Amino acid sequence: MTSENIWYHSTNGKADRVSFSEALLKGLAPDKGLYMPDHIPQINDHIIRSLSGKPYADIAFEIARHFLRGEIPENDLRHLVDDAYNFEVPLEKVVDRNYIMRLDQGPTASFKDFAARMMGRLMQYFLKKQNRNMLILTATSGDTGSAIANAFYGLDNIRVVILYPENEVTPRQRKQMTTLRRNIKIIALKGKFDDCQALVKQAFTDPDLEYLNLSSANSINIGRLIPQSFYYFYAWAQLARPDEDIIFSVPSGNFGNMMGGLIARKMGLPVRKMIIATNENDEVPVYWRTGNYKTIVPSKNCVSSAMNVGHPSNMARVVSLYGGVMDEKGNITVEPDVKQMHKDIYAVSISDSQTTETLKATYNRYQVITEPHGAAGWAGLMQYYSDNPSEATGRLAVCLETAHPAKFPEEIRRLLGIDPPLPASLEGLDELEESFDKLDHDYQHFKEYLKDRF
């Protein structure tokens, strides 16, 4: 460790500060808080301008380098980044200077590939160096699981257990997890996503399971968060005129994605506004409007199923970034700078009918195919414009498309009457054989399951 290293503290403030590699391999802090960097490295204007037009991997390396100084030699880091980011990141113009960034060209056609591939390679790097093994335990509402399973598939030092709510993922999402096998075990839980998340969280604090060396690959892991800042820089670097700022609209569930954007902004990226679009799980937009944060239990089922979250796990980080403290239950014990938060971030809840209407309208008016999550993002931008008419012309804005439309074929067929073209990464899935276990929502059963098998 050198004096340049960034240390990581827990949002609950009751755990020791750790290095990046410790935070990465631990996941959740021992006091149930989330790791945050003590300071966010600044990238000077000159470097930010020099990113203009550069390829994705070059930009990712430049940002990563600032966070990982002293933790990993630059040659090794460059190799990890090149290996992780070997696919396209299309920016599709919709109308005027409003774009959709398609984060759906990775191996599981989900934006979660961006974080999972980088995190997997970083974990492998540090585990090998320390000669250790690890069991990754992850709850998923669909896309996290497949991205994690694919990113970790076949690695020697790492085994993976993924829990999904049995009725809340699409057949295709399920098959992206259940057809892998080897070091990847999949559990279909009779419950909701929040139940899966609760079991995982309990296992992490169970002393009887310490021997497993558990770690999370959920969006609570700092190793997922940092890579999710790279594509914000990329979008700006491809599209912005010199000195132009940019609006982002992010369809949000656990708020890991938007948190990456807030980090990019803190690093120096000229972000004019972060728009966060939730579905009908509107606890955060309500908090913005009323100042009262109240979790939604159980979470509501919406068409944008990966956003069915009644208490975003990264909310504590958002509050922390603005100087406040939120505990793991959602209680705010120290108020954040609400004024600044509202200035930077516009929060809006998009109903299911708005989502499906928007999905149809973007296709009919602009021939742009979205899916329910990306459509919520676009609807969020439109809502922002109608609330702020002076913003509505001439601004550069990018909506994040977080999954490939082909991952939701029934929905797209129903709404648009077409079959979205299948990306290469999803071809051939239907012929593969599935393998998974079913469990009740019961911690003791889950614990025995883990102890029997590992």
Ligand X SMILES: *Cc1c(COP(=O)(O)O)cnc(C)c1O
Give the residues lining the site for ligand X (CB under 6 A). Answer: 110, 112, 142-144, 219, 251-257, 306-307, 373, 402-403
User: Inter-axis angle of helices 256-267 and 56-68, to 10 degrees?
Assistant: 80
Would you say 256 or 380 has its CB closer to ligand X? 256
CA pair distance 377, 402, nearest whole angstrom: 9
In the numeric block, which tokens belong to residue 191? 């419950």
Q: List beta partners, residue 439.
A: 189
Would you say 110 or 183 has its CB closer to ligand X? 110
Would you say 212 or 284 has its CB closer to ligand X? 284
CA pair distance 194, 439, nearest whole angstrom: 15
CA pair distance 226, 55, nearest whole angstrom: 18
Would you say 10 or 221 has its CB closer to ligand X? 221
Judged on CB neighbours under 10 Å (0-12, 13-18, 19+), 44 is exposed
* Cα 389 versus chain centre, distance: 30
* Cα 203 versus chain centre, distance: 22
Shortest distance, CB of residue 232 to ligand X, whole angstroms?
13
Would you say 255 or 363 has its CB closer to ligand X? 255
Shortest distance, CB of residue 380 to ligand X, whole angstroms?
12
Would you say 265 or 395 has its CB closer to ligand X? 265
Would you say 183 or 304 has its CB closer to ligand X? 304
Q: Strands 158-165 and 184-190, how do they pair?
A: parallel
Shortest distance, CB of residue 372 to ligand X, whole angstroms?
8
Chain residue whose CB lies nearest ligand X: 143
Shortest distance, CB of residue 3 to ligand X, whole angstroms?
33
In the numeric block, which tokens belong to residue 170? 């699409």
Shortest distance, CB of residue 315 to ligand X, whole angstroms?
10
Shortest distance, CB of residue 160 to ligand X, whole angstroms?
17
CA pair distance 258, 15, nearest whole angstrom: 25
Judge contact between 187 and 449, C-beta under 8 A: yes
Q: Give Cα separations from 116 to 70, 144, 218, 221, 420 (angstroms).
A: 22, 8, 9, 10, 25
Shortest distance, CB of residue 444 to ligand X, whole angstroms?
29
Helix, strand or coil, per DSSP, at residue 124: helix
